[in-house]
Structure 1
């Protein structure tokens, strides 16, 4: 949270203007600052990251099958289904648990219209190889960058890759606006189309298209304006916290995602992968007993969602299924004190000492 007085100063201006939404001055200022920060030509601040995904699919006029990852938050799949397309799951790679670019081509059919991949935990997908495959087959590329804010690859913002990239500014994210999201576009015509679609399809009293309400408010923009100048310090604090966690957990039978080369990472989360699900469950239960909240993020593997029958190509994805059954995200935020990290690590050690290994 930002200093309360700073946020209230923005609220005072909102009260003076009596303008809460519909592209107010704070929202326009936040969009402009985000474009500069990310070095992207077009960006729209949306009500959440899921709406951003739906807008991307609709604006690109995607039909048929969309190749996607089974290791992501459910919104990645539900956005595809909501827009009446069919998700085709391709397994993830073992390093950062992102969509395995080497397996995409085998899943392409005449009905494939796009690739929708997730930058898992802020680690980048193989954006170069995915672009090669997409161009070879005439496919659109959407990146679910809900975790990607602040990560750079080859000197570029990770959100600048693909035909469209989306981001979440939910309160749990490194940079947040309470609730919110963004959609990043590299094409002017597509940007204008998305702007229309997120505003009910009309400008003033002139109606041009079927649209939805994907806008956000001045209250949320104010939060973003408070926090955006602090992103660098957030990332630095998280990097130090990551190193402290790794030191405290050293020697335990835990696996961690591997950051690809040429990446300036944002340290969005701290996931650990256990050797067995029983170890995870014992650890989660013990931490909970001591008032420490953790999350099975992501679980389940999306190809195993119970309501997919008849709506998806739910082929087996063994890597995703294995990781989803054994991954746990530990508490991870800049205010987390060193002694708290030590306490959490001590409980993880205790749980592993008593958990059944398989």
Structure 2
């Protein structure tokens, strides 16, 4: 079976060496030696001034919304994983959807201003499949209307835009270190900000509000990464160049051999150093997608309808119609992509799509 992705697992003895350090320290959580080391190494690797490692990629969004959302209206995208919208609703804010750009698939910055009301407090946009939003336009709008900007960068590990880490844009940005991501800690994530006072609030918010063992800054939750998660991250990080190179080979094969006359692929924003995180294709119709999906599964190939459905259509959002997002969500399919996908398997996938599209 060929799955849509496959988790990179480092040599087990290398993971065990990191875990042994935690055993030697007899310290498994509460920001031990491994978490601190991972944070330092990631700051260097990514080129960011501040980083807080977390237990997953969703709690950073919840913390960001708790600190910046003020239970107001949050302008957001209908084309993302459900966690983006769920975090808004969970933090007692109201999602206000803005449709997406038909090629970049990120929020359409030209439609944001029309959605702003006196209740708007923030913009929460997703760098879709690691493809950056128009961060300059969004920043200009946010400054004009005194709004905060939060980016869901779940897919964006290693992405650079105009020579800067994509995590350096916005008031707060998040990333996921889930097992399906390029870099992972099994479960895990991180949150980023440039403002030191904001980072301080984010830090105590992710640790129950602690200000030392017996005092508290304020309200907080438990979003800390464990030493066992950090051990995995420390074992995976040295292999990032290899992972990216192998994924790049697969994407180049897709680009060269897929019949793209009836398929749309993701348009990467100009001035972006991308990370080869996903390979989505958009069919001319949902029926065509379903036909190809059936043929792939008959041959043991498991793609993913990602993102589907459009988030404005799920029960608890009650969003207005978003025609571009709804159309693309019904026609988009992420093809298998991983560091171990062979050329022969890639050729098999391509042949099935080319003969059934």
Normalised by the length of structure 2, the TM-score is 0.95
Tell me what 1:80 maps to: 88
State the Cα deviation string for residues 220-266 of structure 1 (Å, max 9, x = none): 10111112222222222222210101222135511101111111111
Does the 8 Å contact 1:248/1:341 carry over to 2?
no
Match of 1:264 among 268, 273, 289: 273
Counterparts in 2 of 1:74-153, with a 5 A limit? 74-153=82-161
Tell me what 2:6 maps to: none
Post-superposition, which runs of at least 4 consecutive aligned residues in structure 1 deviate over 6 A? none
- 1:331 Cα deviation after fit: 0.7
Does the 8 Å contact 1:92/1:320 carry over to 2?
yes
Does the 8 Å contact 1:50/1:79 carry over to 2?
yes
Find the residue that maps to 2:186 and give its secondary structure. coil
Match of 1:50 among 46, 49, 58: 58
Cα root mean square deviation, aligned: 1.2
- 1:61 Cα deviation after fit: 4.8
Tell me what 1:345 maps to: 350
Tell me what 1:24 maps to: 32
For structure 1, list consecutive stretches of 5 or more residues without a partner in the other structure.
Answer: 353-358
For structure 2, list consecutive stretches of 5 or more residues without a partner in the other structure.
Answer: 1-8
Higher mean C-alpha displacement, 42-51 vs 245-254: 245-254
1:10 corresponds to 2:15: no
CA distance in 2, matches of 1:251, 1:96: 17
1:284 corresponds to 2:293: yes
Q: How many residues align?
A: 348
Find the residue that maps to 1:325 and give its secondary structure. helix
State the Cα deviation string for residues 31-81 of structure 1 (Å, max 9, x = none): 111111222221110011111100111122533100000000000000000
Counterparts in 2 of 1:304-343, with a 5 A limit? 304-309=313-318, 314-343=319-348
Higher RCO (CA-CA < 8 Å; seq separation 6+): 2
Higher mean C-alpha displacement, 337-346 vs 207-216: 207-216
- 1:147 Cα deviation after fit: 0.6
1:234 corresponds to 2:243: yes
1:224 corresponds to 2:233: yes
State the Cα deviation string for residues 247-286 of structure 1 (Å, max 9, x = none): 2213551110111111111110010000000111111122
| Cα distance change of structure 1 residues 251 and 118 upon mapping to structure 2, 3 Å threshold | closer
CA distance in 2, matches of 1:62, 1:180: 26
Does the 8 Å contact 1:38/1:160 carry over to 2?
no
